[in-house]
Amino acid sequence: MEPPLTADYPTTERSRVRRMHPRGSHARADVHAVLDATPLCHVGYVIDGAPYVTPTLHWRHGDRVYWHGSAASRFLRAAEDMPVCLTCSIMDGYVLARSAFNHSINYRSAMVFGTARVVEDAAAKTEALRYFTDSFFPGRWDSLRPMTPQELKATSVLWMEIEEATAKVRNGPPGDPEEAELPVWAGVLPVRTSLAAAEVAPGVPDGIALPEPLAALIRSGRLR
């Protein structure tokens, strides 16, 4: 049985929120909210002692985070059992204060730590890719030309159990109201990220309309 969403992820030295405590949380629901709000994460790993940060799409299933890529990728080939830090962040606005020091940004971020695992079983890999596709675009998997065995083989799917995690959120106006009397404009420039009108690919046959789940996603103002 899953722990309640209000439960915290375990915390050690590596994930404990040190600064900006009011902004930090280890609660599962808070971590999940950030992971689920953005399609793009940055996966950090270590090869021969050196850091690498790779942007990639991710998806979550319970307390597991998944990502995928080419089976030819040097990282994905070496990934099994590797410690990973996967970070998602969303910039929500510039925060302009009366002093440079109090400038900030509004953001939501999650940093999750775990150990990379490779999905080896073909059926489990297929199921993971279906879940990925349909979690982004509901119902899409069954509408597509089926995956071939070669395509499945050329794709690596990785996952990790969330061992530790931290979410941080900042929003609201600048934190220097005591300096409000200064003759300086202060406030927030909000960042808006959304999907624009769909651009149909060349050659799509007449009568094939934009599927309603995609239209709904565009209307939602969210990316997923």
Enumerate residues 177-206 that contact a copy of itself by CB under 8 A: 177, 179-205
Distance CA 158, CA 67 (A): 5
21 forms part of the interface with a copy of itself (CB under 8 A): no
85 forms part of the interface with a copy of itself (CB under 8 A): yes
137 forms part of the interface with a copy of itself (CB under 8 A): yes
**Closest Cα to residue 96, out of 191, 192, 187, 181?**
187
Shortest approach of a copy of itself to residue 14 CB, angstroms?
6
25 forms part of the interface with a copy of itself (CB under 8 A): no
77 forms part of the interface with a copy of itself (CB under 8 A): no
Give whole-number Cα distances, 157 to 73, 118, 131, in Å.
11, 6, 12
Where b means 16+ CB within 10 Å and e means fewer, 2-23 reads eeeeeeebeeeeebebeeeeee
- Contact criterion met (CB below 8 Å) for 102 and 170: no
Query: 136, 138, 170, 171: which one contacts a copy of itself (CB under 8 A)?
Result: 136
**Site string (88-107) toward a copy of itself, x via CB under 8 A:** -x-x--x-xxxxxx-x-x-x
191: alpha, beta or left, given left = phi > 0 and alpha = psi -120 to 50?
A: beta
In the complex with a copy of itself, the residue whose CB is nearer, 7 or 182, is 182
Distance CA 39, CA 193 (A): 12
In the complex with a copy of itself, the residue whose CB is nearer, 118 or 214, is 214
How many residues line the site for a copy of itself (CB under 8 A)? Answer: 96
Query: 21, 72, 121, 149: which one contacts a copy of itself (CB under 8 A)?
Result: 72
In the complex with a copy of itself, the residue whose CB is nearer, 8 or 94, is 94
Query: 29, 124, 144, 216: which one contacts a copy of itself (CB under 8 A)?
Result: 144
140 forms part of the interface with a copy of itself (CB under 8 A): yes
- CA dihedral for 170, 174, 178, 179, sign (positive or negative): positive
Query: What are the beta bridge partners of residue 25?
Result: 167
